[in-house]
Amino acid sequence: MPEKQISEEAQWFLRNLQKLQDDFAESVGAQIVTTDKEGNLVTKMSGAQRVCQLIMATEKGKERCSNAYKTALSLVKTMKEPAFMDCHAGYASLWVPIKIKGEIVGSITGCGGRYDRGENSEQLREKFSKLADELGISDKEDFLKAAVDEIRPVTEEEMKKRSERLAKLVGILAEETALKELFGR
């Protein structure tokens, strides 16, 4: 979140962006955050999922999430289009670029659901049990409940629709001057 003094217009944009992000995260059951082009947070995390909180509670989990984030942000900067992929833990993530006059100035990152790969519950438990061991998650049963039972399958088409809606909503809110101020241009 910006700590510098920002204009009233930028404050208005930031408040409304946070509210939009919070509402969107709640409606689709996902977590969302907005960053500048360097990966610094512009908003607070919305809709943090329990499974992700458990992963991020470990050093290896934090490191893997950070590395996945940097890779995806680099991809979005190169493609200049939304990107869809599995995160290191096997969950569906989306990366929507924020642009000013064609230049990437930030990104909206969303994570929620897992792509249906035809795995049954037993296969998912085995997959996430290995992940829990790799990451050093102490309460494996709690993690498995969150990883398998709380995260619902999602299609790539659904993720694309989410990214389109997010991009449109941010575009409606955004005024170029507020974007420049908040995203450090």
Each residue of 140-179: b (16+ CB within 10 Å) or e?
A: beebbebbbeebeebeeebbeebbeebbebbeebbeeebb
Q: What is the DSSP letter of 152?
A: P
Answer whether residue 110 shows pLDDT above 80. Answer: yes
**Tens digit of each residue's pLDDT (9 = 90 or more) over 152-161:** 888 888 888 8
**Tens digit of each residue's pLDDT (9 = 90 or more) over 28-79:** 888 888 888 877 888 998 998 999 999 999 999 999 988 887 787 788 888 8
Q: What is the DSSP letter of 118?
A: S
Q: What is the pTM for the complete model shown? A: 0.78
